[in-house]
Structure 1
Amino acid sequence: MSETIEQKCISKGVKLTDQRRIIAKVMSESQDHPDVDELYNRVSEIDTKISIATVYRTVKLFEEAGIVTKHDFKGGKARYEQLGESHHDHLIDIKTGEIIEFVDDEIEKLQKKVAEKYGYELVDHKLELYGIKKNK
């Protein structure tokens, strides 16, 4: 079982106010990659006193602490997800905004092979695929 955002904050020494704790809980429980507006709507259902500015500041704090990562997928709004223990790539549906996380060993091997072909050792990468779902 992976650590929650709240647990990561504690282990990294990030002070958790009651409002930050709610934001951390909502982010940890998210099954998608919410933007700040979506997070704000979700935390507002729990505590109406949390402002959108607080959500922005908290997400930025979590990002700077290495607890969440920011994605700038096509479509304009930055989206966030908890940093996990394992690497994964993303397939984004450009019509619906659905984001599918996946790991593909063949792609991983090919990326290393390409780097080696050009005389590099691959140390990191990010892969985002954009598509439209086919009708069956």
Structure 2
Amino acid sequence: MTTQIQQRLKKAGLKVTQTRIAVLSLLENQTEILSVKQIYQKLYINFNKLSLATIYRVIKDLEEVGLIAQQQFYRGEARYSAVEVAESQVLQIKCVIDDHLNQTQFIHSLQDLLQKFNIHLLDIEVNTGNDIKLQPLKI
């Protein structure tokens, strides 16, 4: 796997570095799209000398050469994925559900509906109604 990533980096004209390999490998093995901060947190466990600024630079380089793609949702921060994940269709539904019980019912109903059309739900963000920031919900 690492040699394939190294070859893709070289083919894209980028210098092969441990950080670029780690970021690209992480994004290719994720089914969800991640923010730069989430990428940093996941990589910090194994590479504790990494800085957030380094991750931002690597993300910018990988995006510029087309190895990763950015997804921007409403007012949320940009999120990134490998190009294969980014080529999936993105559905954005805006609604506010104040009550946690109704929120859970809504998510289950949405999952059932999407499953009927053979659509796989990778990630969902729900506005709690108490704040403007979208909070990712793990499903």
Q: State whether TM-score is above 0.5.
A: yes
- What residue is the counterpart of 1:72 in the other structure? 72
Q: For 2:42, give the aligned amino acid.
A: R
- What residue is the counterpart of 1:19 in the other structure? 19
Structure (1 or 2) with the greater helix fraction:
2
Instruction: Number of aligned residue pairs: give it.
Output: 99
Is it true that 1:34 corresponds to 2:26 in the alignment?
no
Distance in 1 (alpha carbons) for counterparts of 2:6 and 2:90: 25
Residue 70 of structure 1: SS of its match in structure 2? strand
Distance in 2 (alpha carbons) for counterparts of 1:78 and 1:54: 17
Is it true that 1:9 corresponds to 2:9 in the alignment?
yes
**Cα offsets for 1:36-60 (capped at 9, x unmatched):** 0000000101110011001000000
Equivalent residues of 1:6, 1:24 under 8 A apart: no
Distance change >3 Å, CA 38–CA 131, structure 1 → 2: closer
Q: For 2:17, give the aligned amino acid.
A: T
Q: For 1:24, give the aligned amino acid.
A: L
Residue 84 of structure 1: SS of its match in structure 2? helix
User: % of aligned pairs identical?
Assistant: 24
- What residue is the counterpart of 2:50 in the other structure? 50
Structure 2, unmatched stretches of 5+, are 97-102, 115-123, 127-139
Deviation at 1:10, TM superposition (A): 2.7
Q: For 2:15, give the aligned amino acid.
A: K
Structure 1, unmatched stretches of 5+, are 103-129
Distance in 2 (alpha carbons) for counterparts of 1:69 and 1:45: 24
Distance change >3 Å, CA 64–CA 35, structure 1 → 2: same
RMSD over aligned Cα, in angstroms? 3.3
Deviation at 1:91, TM superposition (A): 2.3
Runs of 4+ in 1 over 4 A off after TM superposition: 4-7, 92-96
- What residue is the counterpart of 1:60 in the other structure? 60
